Amino acid sequence: MTGQASLFTHRTAGHEPATDRLRLVTWNVQHAAPARTVRQVDWLAGQESTDVVVLTEVSGGSSGDVLVQELSDAGYRAVIAPWGGDDYRTVIASRHATVAAGPSPVDFLPHRFPTAALTLAGTPITVAGLYVPSRGPKERRNEDKRAFQNAVSAALPALAARGGLVAVLGDLNVVEPGHIPHHSLYGRWEYDFYTSFAAAGFTDAFRALHPEEVEHSWFGRRSGDGYRFDHALVTAAHSARIRTCRYLHEPRESGLSDHSAMELLVDLPQESAP
C-alpha cells in the first residue's frame, strides 16, 4: 500500500517504558494551535503510565509540526507523522526506542491511518492510528467519510491477520449500535463500519471490560448530548489480556480539547522460566 509514514527519531525518553505490557493513550487534539499544543503535550508527558500515544485531528500545517517537536522534547523517542497536505492527520508517538513506521493499510487518505511496529516481551505488535473524516461540507456530504470507511473495512482482515497483537485506536466518528443516547443522524452504513471490526477479528476493548457502561468522549456543542466516538480495538485473540480501557475526561474538562482521551493497557505473555 502507499502512504509510507515519516519516522523521526529523537532523544532519550523521560522515563523508561514498560516491557511487559502495552500502555497507550489515544486522543483527538482538535487541530490545536501551537500554544494549546504545548499544553497538550505537557499533559501527555505527565501520564507516566503511558508509553505510546495515538493523536488524531492533528493539523497538517505548522501547529502539527510543533506537535512533533514538542513530543520529541517531552521524551518520545520516535514520532510517526505522515504528511497529508492541508488535511488532518494521525500521529503515533512512542517512548520505546525500537519502533518501525509501516505503510498505511489504505490508499485513500493514508495519512489518517498510519501504523507502527514494535516488539515487547517477544510479542510482535502493530499499533494503528485511525481518524475517520467527519460528514463534510454540504457539497461533499459523506463522500470522503464513506470512501475512507469502505477502504478501512476492506483492509481490516489483513491487518488482523498480521500475527501478534494488533491495536487500532482513534476517533472513528461513528457510534456503536445501541448507543445511549440514540442519534438518529447515523445511517446503516456507519453502524456497519463499526461492526466491520468485529467481523474482521477485533474486540472493542472498552466494551470487553464495561459491557453495560454508558460513556462519552465528545459532547454536542448545542444539544449537549454525548457521543462515544473514540475507540480502542484489539485483536480478539488478545482480548483476555486487556487490563484497562477507560476514558480520561480531565483534558476535555480543562479545555485542552473538545474530546476526552482514552487509555488502554494490555498485558503481554511472559516467557516461562526454564
pLDDT tens, 37-66? 999 999 999 998 899 999 999 999 889 999
Q: Where are any strands of DSSP class E within the chain?
A: 7-9, 21-28, 52-58, 78-80, 89-94, 100-102, 115-120, 123-131, 165-171, 202-204, 218-219, 226-227, 230-235, 242-248, 261-267
pLDDT at 185: 77
pLDDT tens, 100-142? 999 999 999 999 999 999 999 999 999 999 999 998 777 787 8
What does the alpha-carbon distance between residue 230 and residue 28 come to, in Å, rounded to a whole number? 8
pLDDT band at 271 (very low <50, low <70, confident <90, very high): low
* 244 is a domain residue: yes
Residue 11 has pLDDT above 60, yes or no: no
User: Quick one: what percent of the chain has pLDDT higher than 90?
Assistant: 82
pLDDT tens, 193-225? 999 999 999 999 999 999 999 999 999 887 889
Residue 248 has pLDDT above 60, yes or no: yes
Choose the weakest-confidence range: 95-99, 128-132, 169-173.
95-99
Q: Number of folded domains in the chain?
A: 1
- Domain of 75: which CATH number? 3.60.10.10
Task: Report cis status (omega within 30 of 0) of the bond before 137.
Answer: no
pLDDT band at 3 (very low <50, low <70, confident <90, very high): very low
The residues near 274 (Cβ < 8 Å, ≥ 6 apart) are none
Q: What is the mean pLDDT of residues 18-38?
A: 96
pLDDT at 221: 82
* 79 is a domain residue: yes
DSSP per position, 51-88: -EEEEEEE-SSHHHHHHHHHHHHTT-SEEE----TTS-
* 272 is a domain residue: no
pLDDT at 203: 98
* 221 is a domain residue: yes
* 2 is a domain residue: no
pLDDT at 57: 97
* 1 is a domain residue: no
Return the amino acid letter for 200: A
* 273 is a domain residue: no
Q: Residue 15: give the domain boundaries.
A: 7-267
Q: Do residues 142 and 28 touch, judged by C-beta distance below 8 A?
A: no
